[in-house]
Chain A
């Protein structure tokens, strides 16, 4: 079983639609969670962190359910520019003495295509 699982999509939605992506992770010791965005043929970039209480950044809302080991990302009023692959990312600690370094494990990504 993969450590982080996502539906690869693609999700094809019209502009203005609301779309939700889900992700599950297998390591219950995982400490923190993120969504990264990757445009076609580009490097991944941090979109937002995911907190247990849920958090919002403009049109984007992220949720975490630790008991179910489940993470979600909701995009409201989707724009053409939101078309990209959304990577669910889980953080587990590395051995670095200070105990503060992270190994980020990425899911396969969910591809979103927003159309006119």
Chain B
């Protein structure tokens, strides 16, 4: 399978614990995004990487959230001191720019990591 993969698919944790999600984008994609989705809502933008550089962070991303993409390939999203309001599906997506043959506006999403904070 050469799509975007995310791990773990499901995570249940107690309030106050730290969690980390991993995303492996499509190998030739230089752009990587993290979104969060809750029931009945569309995906909300969290952050964006071009190669290893984090170029945009949403105000939704509090100080408890940190994302990295150290070698410009896989990415991790860590949530420290989780709160019940962090319960959501965390979606990773990747894309390639149009000059490299990408289709405008097309993000390829992984199946997501569902977080439940008790």
Which of A's residues lie within 8 Å of B, judged by CB? Answer: 4, 8, 32-34, 42-46, 49, 87, 89, 91, 94-96, 98, 100-109
B107 touches A46 (CB 8 A): yes
CA distance A100 to B99 in the complex (A): 9
| Residues of A with C-beta under 8 A to B18 | none
Extra A-B contacts (12), CB below 8 Å, given A45-B109, A94-B55, A106-B43: A34-B105, A43-B109, A43-B112, A46-B103, A91-B104, A95-B56, A100-B99, A102-B104, A104-B107, A106-B42, A108-B42, A109-B42
Task: Give the size category of B's interface with A.
Answer: 20 to 34
Partner of B42, one of A45, A87, A98: A87
Which of B's residues lie within 8 Å of A, judged by CB? Answer: 31, 33, 35, 40-45, 48, 50, 55-56, 91, 95, 97-99, 103-107, 109-112
CA distance A75 to B95 in the complex (A): 27
CA distance A101 to B102 in the complex (A): 11
CA distance A109 to B31 in the complex (A): 24
CB distance from A81 to the nearest CB of B (A): 20
